[in-house]
Amino acid sequence: MKLFGTDGIRGTANRYPITPEMALRLGKAAALVFSKGRKRPKILIGKDTRISGYILESALTSGICSMGADALLVGPMPTPAISFLTVNAKAAAGIVISASHNPAEDNGIKFFSSKGGKLPENVEQEIEHLALQDSLESTVSARDLGKAYRLDDARLHYISLAKSSIKIRLSGLRIVIDCANGAAYSVAPAVLKQLGATVIPINNSPDGLNINLNCGALHPEAMRKAVKKYKADAGIALDGDADRVIMADEKGRILDGDDILALCALRMKQENKLRKNMVVATVMTNLGIEESLWNQGITMLRTKVGDKYVAEQLHLKKLSLGGEQAGHIIMPGINPTGDGLIAALQVLGIMKSSRKPLSMLAQFQKYPQILVNVKVREKKDFESIPKVYNSIRQAQQALGSSGRVLVRYSGTENLARVMVEGKDKLQIKRAAESIAGEIKAALGV
């Protein structure tokens, strides 16, 4: 059995493996792994606003403490806040209870290292191996059990980090912030207000079941409408755990992670803060964005889809900026993981310092791009299905060097994702529909 996917462990809440029983075992396993070389390690736990977070938090805490480690509880906080707070509290590891952009019925458990980054695969495998062992039992006496502490000032520490990420006040800006009824429902509006902006918060009343429900980064329509309704200067839409962001300019035009990455890259190059004049992006990033950056002397290094792959390359190459189209923007000099709020603040800072509206700043020529999701019952190698493989090959041959075809499986859901990019909208639409049709015929639910 395998627990870890591309972004921790994820599934339907209260169904294997996202159960209190497995959370208890993961807490025990994590305590064992992070006790190596440490006496009474501290493991920090945060969560988003899902109702299932309560049972998983309690079970993880019990598992950690039963093995002689201490648990530091911070409650509902953005995933990037957990990354920062893990380092700030000198904890041996951090745990986030969240299914990110997934609906409320799902939940997940993911880990951060003591340095605030995603765990290496070998450490995840060690935790997984221990958690699945029948012989996983408590090994400490009652005298040596760990304790659980609630960090009441955690929110203030993260707010301070976010505010310090820009060196300019936001006075005079009117900003819509869609909190997705998620982990940033409290801290995101507070940061913007303390920086002097006029803030219009929406979807900031979580009830445990409305996280990501027709709102946030995956559904930015509500944010876009609010920008136009309130004549705001910009809109920000976070996802459930606030590690990704989608924005809108004052005209209501949606800006995705590609736009935000390009804006930040150009400003950082101007300020001599873009190391090696290089950014890290994924295979999903639009070719037009790559060409725009290349024309400004900025090279793009591409990775597989997933912010952990972006983070790995940033670390290996010692670079200062990376991101992906979905809205994960990573600036290791500020926070070692994707941070939706901090990324949005950088864009607002550029607006304020340049004294230009966002619509004038984000004028990148993009290739048309079609993305089709197909629900699948299993994940088979596409090359093993002749009709699917042939449709992909034929589409790429037809596009030639002026387009791209990317077909992959989601790392967190039973979905096949078909992306086709090119200069001719009708051509790429037909190609995407043809490939998706063959996948549905072969593997569809």
**How much is the pLDDT for 139?**
78
**How much is the pLDDT for 226?**
98
**How much is the pLDDT for 285?**
95
* Residue 325, pLDDT above cutoff 90: yes
- Integer angstrom CA distances of residue 266 from 76, 256, 361, 386: 34, 16, 10, 44
If one compares 241 and 411, the residue with the highest pLDDT of the two is 241
Angle of the 257-270 helix axis to the 287-295 helix axis, nearest 10: 10
66 is catalytic: no
Helix (H, G, I), strand (E, B) or coil at 335: strand
Structure token digits, residue 411: 């790392």
CA atoms within 13 A on the CB side of 12: 3
Between CA 174 and CA 51 the distance in angstroms is: 32
Strands of the sheet containing 174-178, edge to edge, are 198-202, 174-178, 234-238, 245-248, 254-255
Pairing type for strands 234-238 and 174-178 reads: parallel
* Residue 48, pLDDT above cutoff 90: yes
CA quadruple 102, 108, 114, 117: dihedral sign: negative
**How much is the pLDDT for 375?**
96
The model's pTM is: 0.91
* Residue 19, pLDDT above cutoff 80: yes
**How much is the pLDDT for 135?**
86
pLDDT digits (tens, 9 = 90+) for 263-293: 999 999 999 999 999 999 999 999 999 999 9
**Mean of the per-residue pLDDT values for the chain?**
96
Between CA 37 and CA 27 the distance in angstroms is: 18
Between CA 82 and CA 79 the distance in angstroms is: 5
What SS3 string covers 3-43?
CCECCEEEEECCECCECHHHHHHHHHHHHHHHCCCCCCCEE
Domain ranges of the chain: 9-152, 157-361, 369-443
Structure token digits, residue 154: 């955690």
Between CA 92 and CA 39 the distance in angstroms is: 10
Domains 9-152 and 157-361 share a fold: yes
**How much is the pLDDT for 309?**
93
Between CA 324 and CA 421 the distance in angstroms is: 16
Its CATH class, for the domain covering 157-361, is: alpha beta
What percent of the chain has pLDDT above 70?
A: 100
Per the residue annotation, which of 52, 62, 66, 100 is the catalytic one? 100
**How much is the pLDDT for 5?**
87
pLDDT band at 137 (very low <50, low <70, confident <90, very high): confident
- Residue 197 CB neighbour total at 10 angstroms: 24
pLDDT digits (tens, 9 = 90+) for 165-216: 999 999 999 999 999 999 999 999 999 999 999 999 999 999 999 999 999 9
The domain defined by 9-152 carries CATH number 3.40.120.10: yes
The domain defined by 369-443 carries CATH number 3.30.310.50: yes
pLDDT digits (tens, 9 = 90+) for 392-428: 999 999 998 888 999 999 877 899 999 999 989 999 9
Between CA 284 and CA 324 the distance in angstroms is: 7
**How much is the pLDDT for 210?**
98
Amino acid in position 30: A
* Residue 138, pLDDT above cutoff 80: no
**How much is the pLDDT for 413?**
82
Helix (H) or strand (E) holding 420: strand 415-422
